[in-house]
Structure 1
Amino acid sequence: MEQEIVKVFNEQHEEIGTATRSEVHEKGLWHETFHCWLVNEDYIYFQVRSSQKKDYPGLLDITAAGHLLAVETVESGIREVKEELGLQIDVQDVVKMGMTSCSIVSENMIDNEFCHVYIYPFEHDWNSFALQYEEVSGVVRARLNEAEAFFLGETTTLNIEGYEYFPDGQRVKIVRPVGTAQFVPYRELYVAHVIKFAREKIFNQTS
């Protein structure tokens, strides 16, 4: 299997070379990723990571995300939304939030990322998704105000609803409360900042 090649950076986000995807995780090298959050005036959406995934199987994660290859521009990352969720959107449809850094050390890897964060104002229904099953097994959502309080640490559980999807076209409804252990461990307050940006800059809401 051909290895994906990504750009490598120092901690100041200065490009210093390239490496394979496996190398950056083994050595903790800084690299770039693309995050796209689906948000509307009422809800923020999360993907359910496939149980087949090596890292964080079954946990809730950014709606669509992936590594930027060395030959790609940041805007090329929009392909992840099509690949993972089956949504055909254009880069003009998303709102750029900015870049953040994230460092996660787990048993399997050292993941040091510069994350380019975008928000897609999502107004479609559950039938819009056609998931990449080896990557994503479901999509759920949480009310924006409840999610903001949860990710600010003001509440300990968050009510989610959505569906697990299957290759034969069937789906099973998900309705349950979850805690922080059910989410991929993001940088502190990252999701709260995404929600705040969406509410204030896109939907003109005030807390």
Structure 2
Amino acid sequence: MDERVDILDEQGNPTGASCLKSEAHRKGLLHPTIHVWLYTKDGRVLLQQRGKYKDTHPLLWDVSVAGHVSSGEDIEWAAVREVQEEVGLTISKKDLESIGTYKAIHKISEDFVDAELHHIFLCKLSVPINELTKQDSEVDDLELIPLFKFAEETWGLANMAKYVPHGPTYYKKIVQEIKKRL
């Protein structure tokens, strides 16, 4: 869906401008997104395999839930909405724990620069994975893996080709923040 997104300055502040997501990608304009990492109390993290028809990183494993923040939309409400859409889980804003932001710029092609400010949240997953319903157009598969395995594969770069290339610094932050809560 080609929704409108708000444009941010280099420091992540709203500029007051908005445009279609496709235009923001074409021009490399910084815009807000959400990342929600779902984890279990026994130390597993939910990974999403991106849909095979995604414009970026098809079939790679990624954050539990990710999405764009629509123009004028509250960041936390965007996170709640995306969790419901992508994995069929109903949560509330109070279930989200913000762990900061992460600026990522990936040049996909000459006319596609993904310039995003990820608002990152943790959320405890308290239902079995078989109760989740993946959004077929966005998500190919879901998997719960032990946090230590996830850390090995992303920190140690043992299996980075399996994952969206957020980089070791990003992945270390996620693992460390989840580990603090176990």
Distance in 2 separating the partners of 1:198 and 1:42: 8
Partner of residue 198 from structure 1, selected from 160, 173, 178? 178
Q: Secondary structure at the match of 2:168?
A: coil
Distance in 1 separating the partners of 2:161 and 2:154: 12
Q: Which residue pairs with 2:166 in the alignment?
A: 186
Structure 1 alignment gaps of length 5 or more: 157-178
**Does 2:82 align with 1:60?**
no
Partner of residue 148 from structure 1, selected from 147, 151, 174? 151
Distance in 2 separating the partners of 1:185 and 1:193: 14
**Does 2:49 align with 1:69?**
no
Q: Which residue pairs with 1:34 in the alignment?
A: 34
Q: Return the structure number with greater helix share.
A: 2
CA-based RMSD: 1.6
Structure 2 alignment gaps of length 5 or more: none
Larger RCO (CA within 8 A; separation ≥ 6): 2
Partner of residue 130 from structure 2, selected from 123, 127, 131? 127
**Is the 8 Å Cα contact of residues 46 and 141 (structure 1) preserved in structure 2?**
yes
Partner amino acid, structure 2, of 1:13: G
Distance in 2 separating the partners of 1:119 and 1:145: 17
User: Structure 1 length as normaliser, TM-score?
Assistant: 0.81
**Is the 8 Å Cα contact of residues 32 and 67 (structure 1) preserved in structure 2?**
yes
Q: Secondary structure at the match of 1:87?
A: coil
The count of aligned residue pairs is 178
Q: Which residue pairs with 1:25 in the alignment?
A: 25
- Superimposed CA distance per residue, residues 5-37 of structure 1 (whole angstroms, 9 cap, x where no aligned partner): 111011111222111100110011000001101
**Does 2:96 align with 1:94?**
yes
Partner amino acid, structure 1, of 2:161: A
**Is the 8 Å Cα contact of residues 129 and 144 (structure 2) preserved in structure 1?**
no
**Is the 8 Å Cα contact of residues 33 and 116 (structure 2) preserved in structure 1?**
yes
Distance in 1 separating the partners of 2:106 and 2:85: 24
Q: Which residue pairs with 1:15 in the alignment?
A: 14
Q: Secondary structure at the match of 2:98?
A: strand
Partner amino acid, structure 2, of 1:14: N
Distance in 2 separating the partners of 1:35 and 1:113: 11
Structure 1 runs (4+) deviating above 4 angstroms are none
User: Structure 2 length as normaliser, TM-score?
Assistant: 0.91
- Superimposed CA distance per residue, residues 43-67 of structure 1 (whole angstroms, 9 cap, x where no aligned partner): 1111011112222211111110100
**Is the 8 Å Cα contact of residues 43 and 146 (structure 2) preserved in structure 1?**
yes
**Does 2:85 align with 1:83?**
yes
- Once the two structures are aligned, what percentage of the paired residues are identical? 28
Distance in 1 separating the partners of 2:164 and 2:84: 21
